[in-house]
């Protein structure tokens, strides 16, 4: 329940905004123009802007709420982005964001298999490779995020861990099973060529238990809610 006007930092192609956010979101920002064109076709943002998160083309204290879904982990200078989010937030405004924590690499399936057969060095190289190909720069626990938020003039109100290790392993393997979808995206611009029940029932059956899993203390992702005092 985040009041308007709302800003989605790293809105991408708008899929998350279309599914998860209630009603049109006032502003979406992303550096990728092709993704913004797709977001525009979805019609879930009133205004779309091409910009970096550290240089938001918005006035000071112009937003009542800011959201960012699985974006901040990819940004090398995340402090600069948090500073600019703090600038555009009104006093009393809230920032809600999700990011993975260090459990993202600690609970990968392939390194666990490699470790069981004594290939610990190879397991560690795989973790570094997986982090690199998924472009995850920032993996931090709550205390570190709290310090970054405080530097940006924001107070951490609450945190919630979710996405347990079994879900993380499913996401990891999904990268490989999703390669045909990546090829379809490159060739046709669509992730799923036949978005029908018969084509997706098996995927839905396999991932639904993880989608429905409750918050977990060993969750590999975190939901943060911060406030500008």
pLDDT at 195 over 90: no
**40: helix, coil or strand?**
helix
The model carries a pTM of 0.92
pLDDT at 186 over 90: no
Residue 205 in tokens: 């059956």
> What phi, psi does 130 have (nearest 5°)?
-65, -40
Q: What is the pLDDT of residue 90?
A: 97
Q: What is the pLDDT of residue 89?
A: 98
Residue 177 in tokens: 């099973």
Task: Give the model confidence (pLDDT) of 86-96 as tens digits.
Answer: 999 999 999 99
Q: What is the pLDDT of residue 119?
A: 95
Task: Give the model confidence (pLDDT) of 98-148 as tens digits.
Answer: 999 999 999 999 999 999 999 999 999 999 999 999 999 999 999 999 999
Contacts of 29 (CB under 8 A, 6+ apart): 7, 8, 9, 10, 11, 48, 49, 50, 51, 53, 56
What average pLDDT does the segment 164-193 reach?
90
| Cβ pair 74, 46 in contact under 8 A | no
């Amino acid at each position: 329940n985040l009041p308007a006007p709302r800003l989605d930092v790293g809105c991408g192609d708008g899929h998350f905004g279309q599914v998860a956010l209630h009603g049109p979101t006032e502003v979406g920002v992303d550096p990728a123009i092709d993704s913004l064109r797709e977001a525009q076709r979805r019609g879930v943002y009133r205004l779309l802007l091409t910009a970096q998160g550290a240089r938001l083309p918005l006035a000071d204290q112009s937003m009542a709420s800011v959201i960012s879904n699985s974006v901040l982990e990819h940004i090398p200078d995340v402090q600069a982005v948090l500073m600019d989010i703090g600038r555009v937030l009104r006093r009393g405004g809230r920032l809600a964001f999700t990011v993975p924590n260090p459990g993202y690499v600690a609970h990968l399936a392939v390194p666990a298999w490699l470790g069981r057969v004594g290939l610990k060095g190879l397991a560690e190289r795989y973790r570094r490779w997986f982090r690199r190909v998924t472009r995850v720069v920032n993996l931090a626990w709550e205390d570190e995020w709290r310090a970054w938020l405080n530097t940006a003039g924001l107070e951490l109100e609450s945190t919630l861990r979710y996405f347990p290790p079994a879900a993380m392993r499913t996401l990891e393997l999904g990268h490989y099973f999703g390669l045909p979808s990546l090829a379809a995206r490159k060739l046709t611009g669509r992730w799923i060529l036949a978005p029908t029940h018969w084509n997706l029932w098996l995927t839905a059956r396999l991932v639904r238990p993880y989608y429905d899993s409750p918050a977990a203390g060993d969750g590999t992702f975190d939901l943060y809610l911060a406030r500008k005092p």
